[in-house]
Amino acid sequence: MSARHGTITELAPRLASGALSAVVLLDECLAAIAAHDRDLGAILALDPHAWSEAEACDRDARDGRGRGPLHGVPVVVKDNIDIAGLPTTSGCRGLAGAMPFRDAAQVARIRAGGAIIVGKANLSEFSFEIRSRSSLGGDVRNPFARHGTSGGSSGGSAVAVAAGFAVAGLGSDTGGSIRVPAAYCGLVGLRPTHGLLDIAGVAPLAPSTDTVAPLTRSVADAALLFEVMGGSVSPDLIEGLRVGVLRQAFGVHPEIAAACERSCAILADAGVEIIDPVALPDDILPFGRAHIVDAEFADAFDAYLAANFLPGTAPCNLAAILADGSHLPDYRNDLGRRLRERAHGRDAILAYHAELRAELEGMMRAHRLDALLHPTSVVLPETLDNPKVGWAPELAACSGWPALSVPAGTSMQGVPIGVELLARTRTESTLLGLGAAIERGVGPRRLPPLPT
């Protein structure tokens, strides 16, 4: 297997020791982009400094100077996260020249950890949806089923990691934007506790639920990248933990349900006590309700435009983008409505979030649970339009709790299936321990069937 398909934990020690050249690894990634991205649409821009950074990594390795836990590892960054010297476009034509003042806090962190930034990844424009389609990059196609979406909004980052364009990715998750693409692309996606990681330099969608998050090929990689980003992971024995099966969130797809059942069996074999089923009251479910994005996006994004970019490089506000039509036509109505209804209903939406969080906490206490398990998505991607993934990914967003999507199987058509674990605030270590057990039971990651 080519080195570009390896994990961080496999590659970083070899890169730091000089056993593997960072230049050679980067060249493999760039060659894969050149060969396959015309069909997949994952990459919006390449970092022109990547190759010189790889050379510097190799020089340091020869001199016995490791750069950190990500030494020489190629990482792709969702194009709503600032990189100095490259536009931060959020996928929008109106922001094609928007030059940020500096690296986002998390880009600075992974650079300090030794990572090489390959470039910026395509996304759902403004991070609006759970497909990935933008006026700058078009659709991001699933590398396992190119007739279907990659998921969104961090779909370009997910496809880049799955296809070997980079070894890991940075994205954001407001309502499922890391976890759904991870599930559809056979990756691990960690949504951290809301507010735990610094999101400075990340374009806002809804600050009350926005997070910045890693996309990786293994649970160990997710833990490592999470720590580099400012999180904390401690060894967490899973034997004796209690996991509740949120069966009301399963949907009707038989292969997805079967993957969840297998995950429960794997955890049970590892000594986890499975509590099946548990349920929330139907009237509290995050289904058919007003969404916090509608209330927060316009004000937050206008403030970001006003403060984030070098003078003269970005429009002054969303109204200017809407007026000149330099956006995805699909979003004209949504942009207009969100501009008209600024902050409408925000207090009521946040009160509902608090109510849902209390119900979740009550259910966890009543059953003495350490985590919940449910499908990441109740459907598999069949078209390039928005998949109806179900309401379960919103549980983490509304509660602020961390969640982890891990690969749990593959459909008969070869599309990955993800299972999601949800746990209380700042219990990422519990999620990662449970996810690692599922990962071991499911077996090696499958590679997408790309032409050689």
Active-site positions read: 78, 153, 177
Nearest CA to 202 out of 133, 140, 138, 120 is that of 120
The span from the CA of 233 to the CA of 245, in Å, is 24
Query: What CA dihedral angle connects 364, 362, 253 and 129, to 10 degrees?
Result: -110
**Interatomic CA distance for residues 292 and 285, integer angstroms:** 15
Phi, psi of 98 (to 5 degrees): -75, 105
Contacts of residue 286, defined as CB under 8 A and 6 or more positions apart, other chains included, come to 356, 391, 394, 395, 397, 398
Per DSSP bridges, beta strands 371-375 and 273-275 are unpaired
For 62, the enclosing helix (H) or strand (E) is helix 50-62
> In whole angstroms, what separates CA 47 from the centre of its chain?
20
Position of tokens 């674990």? 421
Where does residue 31 rank: exposed (0-12), middle (13-18), buried (19+ CB within 10 A)? middle
According to DSSP, the residues that pair with 247 across neighbouring strands are none
Which of left, alpha, beta for 373 (phi over 0: left; psi -120 to 50: alpha)? beta
